[in-house]
Every structure is written in structure tokens, then in C-alpha cells.
Amino acid sequence: MLKDVLIPIHRAGWPFIGAALVAAVVLSLFWEPLFWLGLLAAAFCTYFFRDPERITPARAGLVVSPADGLVSAVESVVPPHELNMGDAPRTRVSIFLNVFDVHINRVPADGVISGLAYHKGTFVNAALDKASDQNERQSVRMTTADGRDIAFVQIAGLIARRIVCDLVQGQAVRAGERFGLIRFGSRTDVYLPDGVAPLVAPGQRMIGGETVVADLESSEGPRGGEVR
């Protein structure tokens, strides 16, 4: 039970937590009630930067969700041009993260990082379709052991102003590994290889590193979803 309550905090969050606590003390010198406002900000930062452990399905061919959040769309779209993956549309699963979701991003599959590209853009609402093309983003291309390419993209949102990606070209990665985060509120897209059907539906809630988005070894068609 204690392990479930004392969730680790990502290292990127400590400067924000510390700054909020210092602000709380300083502001209290001018007006005591402001201390509680600063303390509330510190509590929110602690919650936002939580970094829970996840149990990733360990089987070759599985593509897991790169983020917590809600599937906002499943559609056929050309991957980001900066990744040089061609002009053929691929199935894209878009996951929208609100400010209350865990914002740690995780690698969706086993493979090697074969492309990285940063695009400086705008900061419209990440829930909108145009956010994938217009917003600031970090695009990643990875190649699986059997030579298939998967792309995943960190997209900044209306409030988010900082994308953190720790991956490097040529790095070998495993599904479920942490690779970065986006501050505060954002979206993450994953582009599946040609012919691979998504196993999730719009409106479904994702758990980063755990929810299976697709199976590269399956011939199953796209799944639908119903509210029940």
C-alpha cells in the first residue's frame, strides 16, 4: 500500500517543486495566506511529475501506448515529413494528455532509434487535428528487428512549452522504457507500420507502457469500441 502512495517523482519535476516551495515562503512574508497558494502549486507539481512503475507486456511484436491519456483519433495520415518515411498514409493513433495524466513518455516497441527530428511550431490546443502539423513537436523513428518502421511524436499543447526527449540516434530501446516527457498538457501520436491494424478505439483510455495499441504479428483487423 505504501508503494502505491509514495510514487516516485521524475527528476525534471524537482526544480518546479523547489521553486514553488521557495515562492510559498517568500510570498508569506508579504501576506500569510499566499503561503498556502505556493504550497498548492508545489503539490500540483508533485502530482504532475509523478513517475509510476508500469508492467509492460513482454512479448515480441507488441506495440504499447507511449503515453497515458485518451485516444482522440485513429486515422490514416502521412507521417511527419522530417522523418523521411515516405508519402504513403499510415494508421496514426493520437493520445491526448490532460494536465492530470501522467506525462512520462515510454517507448512503444523493441527496436533501434533510426531517426530524430525536432520541429519548432505553434501551441494550439493539442486535442485539435491541426496540432500534429502546426505545433512544436519531437518526432522519433524507430526500426524493429524485422525491419519495420514505427514513428512516435511528442506534441506540445496549449499550455505545454517544453518537450524532453532523452533518445539518441542508433540507441537500442525496449518497449515500455521511459524516454522523455512533455510539460504541461500535451499529445502523443504513434504511427503503425503499413498493414498493421490498431487494437484500440477513439475514446479509450491508455496506460503508457501497458496498454497494447497493436500487434505486429497479428492479422486481426481494426477493433471498434462501444460505450457501455
Helix boundaries (H) for the chain? 2-5, 14-28, 34-48, 131-134
Look-up: residue for cell 503508457? Answer: 208
- Which amino acid, 118? Y
Choose, from 72, 94, 139, 186, the residue flagged as catalytic: 186
199 and 122 in contact (C-beta within 8 Å)?
no
Distances (CA, A) of 196 to 14, 172, 200, 214: 40, 22, 12, 7
Cell numbers linked to 80: 511527419
Chain centroid to CA 23: 30
Q: Give catalytic status of residue 186 as yes or no.
A: yes
Query: Residue 153 in 3-state DSSP?
Result: strand
- Core vs surface per residue 181-203: b (16+ CB within 10 A) or e: bbbbbbbbbbbbbeebebbbeee
Residues carrying an active site annotation: 186
